[in-house]
């Protein structure tokens, strides 16, 4: 029986976790009207469902999906996406994951697609590559039940820890779930729905849906290669997963910025800008190009300038009421004045 992955310390991924923290705070500070927030939420929800299905071979495009009514799916591909949408909405109401809720999630995933919807497998099975070769023999039903118990225990254990530890364990639990393979079909989609549920438990991400499935689809070969390994050392997959989270938040921020219902356009501060020193003007324009940006991200753009000098430049821009400083210490981010 394959054991649960070793969960590394958060310090091993401190740089990526800090980047996620800064981006997550950016999401919290963006001024969004309720109507705009609802629109953004539904768009990210659709992306999450669509790309989770595409990973498994669904060929529907995002452009086509935006024109569809998934409340009445007319073929298998549309049914797959409709089911994932229903499952993502369903998990928002789940307070605690257990065997019963797991079966309910799978039942929604495989609704009208399989007679075994919501039923754990009662026999062994195998995972094949594109050429029909066996790449993984799944555990027998008895081992599967023991592994599910371990999996649920680990998820419950980490709900009481800090968000960084929870996030890292989300990657470990996703890896382990795909090894358990508790159903005959739909394990990938079910595992990614549970991953969405785990992300929703992190208060730092608020109410947004992160379309990490789009990253997994773009990097499909890497995603499968990581999951095919039989190892307790999941550090490489955790690194890959954290990159997916960073990418998804940045993509979400881009979508928000490009939405015609947001209010984060570059302001007209030409008179004040003309009076700035060249470097401070460049700093201002860099900040203006991001909804929110950390000191570390600014520092990378001015590698030859001492950090204390950059800090003073930012202080002067705040005094001039051109930018706003949000937060304290390492969590500080900057935005332009609207």
CATH topology of 10-257 equal to that of 270-336?
A: no
Would the pLDDT of 287 be above 80? yes
C-alpha 209/C-alpha 211 separation (Å) is: 6
Fold type of domain 270-336: Arc Repressor Mutant, subunit A (1.10.10)
> What's the CATH superfamily of 10-257?
Fido-like domain (1.10.3290.10)
> What is the average per-residue pLDDT within 300-329?
86
E strand map for the chain: 126-128, 134-137, 293-294, 323-326, 333-336
- For 114, phi then psi, to 5°, come to -150, 140
Average pLDDT over the chain reads 89
pTM: 0.76
In the chain, domain spans:
10-257, 270-336
pLDDT tens track for 15-55: 999 999 988 888 877 777 777 878 888 899 999 999 999 99
Return the closest-CA partner of residue 183 out of 253, 99, 306, 280.
Answer: 99
């Amino acid at each position: 029986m394959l054991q649960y992955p070793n969960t590394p310390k958060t310090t091993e991924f401190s740089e990526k976790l800090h980047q996620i923290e800064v981006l997550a705070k950016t999401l919290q500070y963006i001024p969004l009207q309720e109507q705009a927030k609802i629109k953004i939420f539904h768009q990210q929800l659709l992306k999450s469902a669509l790309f989770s299905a595409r990973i498994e071979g669904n060929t529907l495009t995002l452009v086509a999906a935006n024109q569809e009514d998934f409340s009445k799916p007319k073929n298998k591909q549309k049914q797959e996406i409709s089911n994932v949408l229903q499952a993502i909405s369903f998990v928002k109401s789940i307070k605690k994951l257990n065997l019963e809720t797991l079966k309910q999630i799978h039942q929604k995933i495989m609704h009208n697609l399989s007679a075994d919807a919501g039923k754990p497998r009662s026999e062994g099975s195998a995972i094949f590559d594109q050429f029909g070769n066996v790449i993984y023999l799944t555990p027998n039903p008895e081992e599967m039940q023991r592994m599910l118990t371990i999996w649920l225990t680990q998820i419950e254990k980490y709900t009481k820890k800090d968000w960084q530890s929870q996030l890292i364990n989300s990657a470990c639990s996703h890896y382990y779930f795909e090894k358990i393979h508790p159903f005959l079909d739909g394990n990938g989609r079910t595992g990614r729905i549970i991953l969405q549920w785990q992300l929703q438990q992190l208060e730092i991400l608020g109410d947004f849906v992160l379309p990490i499935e789009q990253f997994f689809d773009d990097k499909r070969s890497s995603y499968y290669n990581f999951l095919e390994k039989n190892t307790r050392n999941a550090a490489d997959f955790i690194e890959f997963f954290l990159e997916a989270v960073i990418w998804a938040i940045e993509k979400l921020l881009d979508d928000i910025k490009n939405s015609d219902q947001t209010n984060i356009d570059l302001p007209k501060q030409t008179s004040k800008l003309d009076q700035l020193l060249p470097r401070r003007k460049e700093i201002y324009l860099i900040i203006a190009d991001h909804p929110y940006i950390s000191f570390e991200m600014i520092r990378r753009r001015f590698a030859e300038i001492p950090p204390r000098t950059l800090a003073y430049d930012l202080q002067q821009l705040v005094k001039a009421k051109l930018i706003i400083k949000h937060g304290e210490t390492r969590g500080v981010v900057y935005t332009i004045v609207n």
